[in-house]
Amino acid sequence: MKPTVWHILGAGSLGSLWATRLARAGLPVRLILRDEVRLAAYTAKGGLTLSERGQRHTFAIPAQTLNADEPIERLLVACKAYDAERAVASVAGRLSPGADILLLQNGLGSQQAVAAQVPDARCIFVSSTEGAFRDQDFSVVFAGQGFNWLGDGQQLDGPDWMAELINAAIPCEWTGDILGRLWRKLALNCAINPLTVLYGCRNGELQAHAAEVGALCDELSRVLRACGQPDAATGLHEEVFRVISATAANYSSMYQDVAQGRRTEISYLLGYACQAAARHGCPAPLLDQTRAKLIAHLLTKGLPDN
């Protein structure tokens, strides 16, 4: 039996990291690019390049546009959270009944929006701690080893094709509590990233604002419990400070987005946390204040506030 094709929607940092590793393992991969202009730019490059431990390799992965007519049985959505819903809508007509859709987006909210849009597909949420960035168009640098948790919130066991990920050296495991994982990562992000933007600092410099970070952690823990995620609240405070010291020299992803004039994923991180708190009647004044300050900051930079 022929292996199922991995369709990768979004050839940015993470999409390229997954696509090149799958192709390297000999698996069939197709990139889905937004239009003919991007397809021409990709063709001119001759493939997708992965830089890992100083070694560069280019993989001539076949690519197509959203409008191609090849049916899709397995789709990896690697767009930003704010692009995911629209991007999936553009290929919804190509999805085979019961198709698997892996959603790599950070934060929460976009995954549920996509799932509601394609009720006949099986949506699998992924929480990734791997790190990658683009050094050029269609060229990705594997910058941080990490792990990928997959789950659909229903099944306790993962699909057989997870063996393909392991063979492709994509570290992953299935979890019965993917929402807990995503909530935990969202809380870590909310406690660290907005403050690095507001104070214009590296992660480690938040040690100087430990009281404020600690108060945010207390509030986030209450919100997590109110949202039915008590496990994600356990030890949050300690983990936030562990991350701050382990990544002291790094600039957070949100800091980098703002510094490079790119739209942030605020609505799916801090925005989602504030809305969830309000929905559950859990007061979160510090989170609300931090969000308002961040929005004001983004607007002064001419960046979208959502």
Least distance to ligand NAP, CB of residue 229, Å:
20
- DSSP letter at 108 equals S
Both ends of the chain: CA-CA distance in Å? 45
Q: Map the footprint of ligand NAP across residues 276-295, applying CB under 6 A.
A: none
Q: What does the alpha-carbon distance between residue 173 and residue 152 come to, in Å, rounded to a whole number?
A: 12
Least distance to ligand NAP, CB of residue 186, Å:
11
The piece of 45-53, 73-81, 276-284, 292-300 that touches ligand NAP (CB under 6 A) is 73-81
> Is residue 104 within the footprint of ligand NAP (CB under 6 A)?
yes
Helix (H) / strand (E) element for 97: namely strand 95-103
Task: List the one residue from 39, 66, 282, 303 that touches ligand NAP (CB under 6 A).
Answer: 66
Least distance to ligand NAP, CB of residue 189, Å:
9
Q: Map the footprint of ligand NAP across residues 196-235, applying CB under 6 A.
A: none
User: Is-catalytic flag, 185?
Assistant: yes
Least distance to ligand NAP, CB of residue 301, Å:
18
**How many CA atoms, within 13 angstroms, populate the side-chain half-sphere of residue 117?**
18
Site string for ligand NAP, 8-27 (x = CB under 6 A): -xxxxxxx------------
Tokens of 13: 């940092």
Task: List the one residue from 5, 24, 25, 34 that touches ligand NAP (CB under 6 A).
Answer: 34
Q: What does the alpha-carbon distance between residue 254 and residue 193 come to, in Å, rounded to a whole number?
A: 6
Least distance to ligand NAP, CB of residue 281, Å:
29
Tokens of 206: 């938040």
- Write down the catalytic residue from 2, 185, 293, 301: 185
> Is residue 252 within the footprint of ligand NAP (CB under 6 A)?
no
b/e per residue 178-209 (b: at least 16 CB within 10 A)? bbbbbbbbbbbbbbbbbbbbbeebbbeebeeb
> Is residue 83 within the footprint of ligand NAP (CB under 6 A)?
yes
Alpha helices in 1-121 (DSSP H): 13-24, 36-45, 81-91, 110-117
- DSSP calls for 121-136: SEEEEEEE--EEEEEE
Q: Which residues are known catalytic residues?
A: 185
Binding site for ligand NAP (CB under 6 A): 9-15, 32-34, 38, 66, 78-81, 83, 86-87, 90, 104-106, 128, 130-132, 134, 265
